[in-house]
Structure 1
Amino acid sequence: MDVLRMRDVGFAASRELLSRHGLELVEVAEGHAIPGSYWGDEEAGLIGLTVYARSDTPVHSLLHEASHLLVMPAERRATVHTDATDSIEEEDATCYLQIVLADDLPGVGAERLMQDMDTWGYTFRLGTTRAWFESDAAEARAYVIKAGYIAG
């Protein structure tokens, strides 16, 4: 099973979702490098308040980079370039928020995103993304609540 990619869901709903959170989504043309991509290839990139993606970018990658911007302290957002991770706690909160945000994208949803994260190779000590999200992510959830993206 392949993961959902931006070409599968389109850019309009993703652009609107990111815009609601004060972020911009820029579509990168096929065959061009994605600016601000930490991993390269088809992985999403970030520079400041902008997330970059191509049609072959996995949806989980787009949501992951956007979630990094949302959970990081506001004073870092405007200056971040490529490498967003500041701490393990922030990385965990990013993974948690990307799953939550997936429910706001038509045709994606948390369940599919967690499957895609497993397929892509995200690793959690309980084995699956779902097991982590449901049973081992209390600290990540608290971080996302503190950041103001979900209610407590």
Structure 2
Amino acid sequence: MVDHPAGATTLPGTDPADAVLRVGEIGFDEPRALLARYGLELVAIAGGEAIPGSFWGDSEAGIIGTTVYARADTPVHSLLHEACHLIVLPADKRAQVHTDATDSIEEEDATCYLQIVLAGELSGVGSARLMEDMDRWGYTYRLGSTRAWFEQDAEEARNFLRARGFLAD
């Protein structure tokens, strides 16, 4: 077995992305309440069913308007990422979203930063675990890891979020 920092394990030769935390492991109630604080609805999709509004398909979360769709096998980082795309958008733009939220690098960076912050509000997840899962899944940053980006290279994302009232000064 190969040990990962968060204690997750995978068999040698398997994809580390298989060790990411899934929504079914934490349940839908807490993420649903978190998203509701931002005016979003979380809809659970039955196993094996296609996820509406999923940009990447497979188990990845989907977004349509103010609704986030996920299954029990959806990675928590995916659910938070797609939700954060909607959170950072102005209300008038949210209503128009179907599957692809933005092509703005500034909004993408803010989304990545905010998903890490919000992970800290979910028991059983936390920001550290989410950053490890983001690395396992294949997010890439010029400093080599999600944590390095978050701690050392995300000033523009923080400024974006502060200017819109998502982070305190």
State the TM-score, normalizing by the size of structure 1: 0.98
Distance 2:27 2:81 in 1: 17
Select between 66-75 and 9-18 the one with higher mean Cα deviation: 66-75
Root mean square deviation, CA, Å:
0.7
Gaps of 5+ in 2: 1-8, 10-18
Alignment of 1:4-15 (within 5 A): 4-15=21-32
1:149 corresponds in structure 2 to 166
Could you list the structure 1 runs, at least 4 aligned residues long, displaced by more than 6 angstroms after superposition. none
State the TM-score, normalizing by the size of structure 2: 0.88
Query: How many residues were matched structurally?
Result: 152
2:63 corresponds in structure 1 to 46
Select between 43-52 and 77-86 the one with higher mean Cα deviation: 77-86
Cα deviations across residues 118-141 of structure 1 (Å, max 9, x unaligned)? 000000000000000000000001
Gaps of 5+ in 1: none
Distance 1:70 1:86 in 2: 15
1:93 corresponds in structure 2 to 110
2:136 corresponds in structure 1 to 119
Cα deviations across residues 76-135 of structure 1 (Å, max 9, x unaligned)? 101100001230010000000000000110100000000000000000000000000000
1:28 corresponds in structure 2 to 45
Distance 1:86 1:75 in 2: 17
Distance 1:33 1:100 in 2: 28
Aligned residues with identical type, % of pairs: 69
Distance 1:37 1:96 in 2: 21
Distance 2:141 2:89 in 1: 21
Distance 2:103 2:87 in 1: 13
1:15 is matched by which residue type in structure 2? Answer: R
